[in-house]
A and B are shown apart, each in its own frame.
Chain A
Amino acid sequence: MADTTVSLAVRSAPPAPSQAPPGGPRGGRVAAWIRRGGLSTLVIALPMLLCFGLFSWFPIARAVVMSFQFTNLVTAPEFVGLENFTYVLSDPLLPVAVRNTFYFAVLALLFGYPIPLLAAVAMSEVRRARGLFAALAYLPVVVPPVVAVLLWKTFYSGADTGVFNTIAGWFGAGPFPWLQHPDWAMPSLVLEATWAAAGGTVIIYLAALTSVPPELYDAAEVDGAGIWRKIWHVTLPQLRPVLFITLILQIIGTSQVFTEPYLFTGGGPANSTTTILLMIYNYAFGGRGDYGAATALSLMLAVVLAILSAIYFRTTRRWSTT
């Protein structure tokens, strides 16, 4: 998830200097190209070309081809048309997985969208030791996801002496079946995922909050605005672009959730936490070795996500020019 949550507004490539190759015989041109550093440039570009070629461009192209093939690594791959797609689309588990992924994303928005915003707005007003506040908020983000999940699995123990059930007991509630009941499992997963990710969002908001021009607050005060009206009429409108970006990033991230359902529940109980990525994993690596179906499903998910990231890039670019 980390890779997709971090991104940047990209400028278009700088125009290449228009050095027309000097005329003359072919050998002379190559010699001139080498003399101008063309060969050295190519050598320097080689690591990137090889690495991206083998481990990015080739697999992406291969994904498209594979989605139309039956591949199990035992027999030679054969083209089967749209069979992988129809197979995946008619899998009775697919609507369940789509619904679960959607549910995860919505819950993650409910938990993870307003809280970091409120925390960041309050934090931006701290005049001393703001670094301490930010560090505390960010700390869970550096905990390795596997450690976080296994730790929370202990917290979620269904016994009445489990960590969370003990705390719930102080308030006369529980014990709750955190991971054991189909209705409880998904919110429990999202709670842990929010804990693990919210700090990153807080930092994004804090950076955006420090770049709100102070003159706007001065102007609002001249017009007699109090604290709440300043938040509502100055702060939030100024944060609108970054709010939109974190929204899209969060949807892209949560729709690829894997570690939490895989380690917490393995998709259970009763498939209540089976997500799309878990389905992809199970097609390919869950003993069936159905790589064609797995890639077909990945591609379908990717198209949806690509549309979202295109919106994201358009927004960041437009924002950077204003």
Chain B
Amino acid sequence: MSGPTTGRATGQMIDRGIVSDADLRRPGVRRGVRAVHAGLLVALVVVGLGPILWLAKAAITPTQDTLRAPIEVFPNGTDWANLAVAWTRFDIDLHFFNTLWLALGSWAVQLLIAVTGGYVLSVLRPVYARVLSALVLSTLFVPAVVLLVPLYLTVLDVPVANVSLINTFWAVWLPAGANAFNVLLVARFFDGLPREVFEAAKVDGAGPFRLGWSIVLPMSRPIIGVVSVFAFITAWKDFLWPLLVLRDPAVQPLSVRLPALQDYVELDVLLAALAISTVIPIAIFLVFQRLFLSGAGLSGAVKG
């Protein structure tokens, strides 16, 4: 099977690449390769890390220094108070925890739908699985832009329930669950599990609930990890949808609140707020680096 867990990690050694050992024995080639790699490393540090380091520096630099000498490092000392001012006076704490709740809730809903959905489509396979699978798959062809307005009107007045979810976290949590990509990713992972185990469990009298809980769920830890990390980080980064449905500043996440702040907050405090908003995604990236860099969430696009 070519499920997401089997994708070769990019950090892993490969047998050989374009440049052979014989090529490398030629001094000209060796120097050239070294120069390319050194240049690449410098470029990556400047372009990839540079802006983030600059943000970290500017977050604790007084506004006047950032405006007058943006490249210099602390020409007139540091100003750690920026972080505290952003956190307490401009309610970044509130928006930080709003973002956290939004991300955790979206994660929980996405995981529930992806695992139960994948389980039904791949393992249980009722007679209607074919139709259901096609319906889920078809939503992948519908770009997000089509849903924007009708989904907004749906959240404004949910059919059957007749409630408005506007300005509640549910307006973000529930639509996050309707993610066909997650469902199909989990279903594909389950397709690769040994079916004999399921059959044996069924013979032993395990119903759908027991089979799912005691057999399939313990085997699906790798795919749950992949779905979880990407669900959380996507929710943290989300902007347009929360902008539409969370109009009340008291429930807004950082991404929605920050653009509003830029109009009346001093630059150094705004940059401090930006830095605070970046800490969690970067921490998650550093902890789960292998998962991101193995292209776990992308492997399907690369190798079917």
Q: Do A and B bind each other?
A: yes
A interface with B by C-beta (< 8 Å): 2-4, 6-17, 19, 37-38, 40-42, 44-45, 47-49, 51-52, 54-60, 62-63, 66, 71, 73, 119, 121-127, 130-131, 133-140, 142-147, 150-155, 159, 161-163, 166-167, 195, 199-200, 203-204, 206-211, 214, 217-218, 221, 226-227, 230-231, 234-235, 242, 245, 249, 252, 256, 258-259, 263, 277, 280-281, 284-285, 291, 294-295, 298-299, 301-302, 305-306, 309-310, 313, 316-317, 319-321
Shortest CB-to-CB span from B144 to chain A, Å, is 6
Whether A210 pairs with B8 at a CB distance below 8 angstroms is yes
- Decide: A51 and B174 in contact? CB cutoff 8 A: yes
B22 touches A130 (CB 8 A): no
Q: Is the CB of B208 within 8 A of A235?
A: no
Query: Hey, which chain A residues are within 8 Å of B237, CB to CB?
Result: 2, 144-146
Q: How far is the CB of A29 from chain B (nearest CB, A)?
A: 13
Contact A13–B129 (Cβ < 8 Å):
yes
CA distance A19 to B126 in the complex (A): 10
B264 within 8 A of partner (CB):
no
**From B23, B149, B188, B297, contact of A280 by CB (8 A):** B149
- Contacts A7-B301, A136-B48; is A44 near B141 (CB within 8 Å)? no
Q: A139-B49, A200-B298, A284-B149 are known contacts. Are A7 and B11 too (CB-CB below 8 A)?
A: no
Chain B: residues with CB nearer than 8 A to chain A?
A: 2, 7-8, 10-20, 22-23, 29, 33, 36-37, 40-41, 44-45, 47-49, 51-52, 54-55, 58, 66-71, 109, 112-113, 116-117, 119-122, 124-130, 132-137, 139-156, 158-160, 174-175, 177-181, 183-185, 188, 191, 207-209, 212, 230, 233-234, 236-237, 239-240, 244, 254-256, 258-259, 262, 267, 270-271, 274, 277-278, 281-282, 284-285, 289, 292-295, 297-304
Bound state CA distance, A256 and B152, in angstroms? 17
Q: Can you name the residue of chain A whose Cβ is closest to the Cβ of B289?
A: A135
Given contacts A62-B153, A163-B71, contact A40 B298 (CB under 8 A): no
Closest chain-A Cβ to B76's Cβ sits at a distance in Å of 15
Asked whether, in the complex, the Cβ of A8 is within 8 Å of the Cβ of B300, the reply is yes
The answer to whether A121 and B139 touch across the interface, beta carbons within 8 angstroms, is: no
With the chains together, A199 CA to B44 CA distance in Å? 10
A152 to chain B, nearest CB (A): 8
B124: chain A residues within 8 A (beta carbon): 37, 41, 44
In the docked arrangement, what's the CA distance between A93 and B267, Å?
34
> Nearest Cβ in chain A — how far from B68, in angstroms?
6
Residue contacts A-B, CB under 8 angstroms, 21 given? A3-B234, A17-B125, A45-B126, A45-B132, A48-B136, A51-B109, A56-B139, A126-B40, A133-B41, A134-B11, A138-B48, A142-B281, A144-B277, A147-B274, A211-B303, A245-B301, A256-B143, A291-B149, A298-B148, A310-B141, A317-B304
In contact, B37 and A122 (Cβ under 8 angstroms):
yes
CB neighbours (8 Å) of B122 from chain A are 14
Interface pair A37/B135, CB less than 8 Å apart: no
Q: Is the CB of B125 within 8 A of A55?
A: no
Q: Which residues of B contact A227 (CB under 8 A)?
A: 18-19, 23, 29
Q: Are A44 and B146 in contact, CB atoms less than 8 angstroms apart?
A: no
Which residues of chain B are near A14, meaning CB under 8 Å? Answer: 122, 125, 129, 191
**Which residues does chain B contribute within 8 Å of A167, judged by CB atoms?**
71
CA–CA, A121 and B191, complex, Å: 33
Closest to A159 in B: B67
In the complex, what's the smallest C-beta–C-beta distance from A187 to chain B, in angstroms? 17
Contact residues in A for B2 (Cβ distance below 8 Å): 320
**Pick from A66, A123, A133, A195: contact of B150, CB under 8 Å:** A66
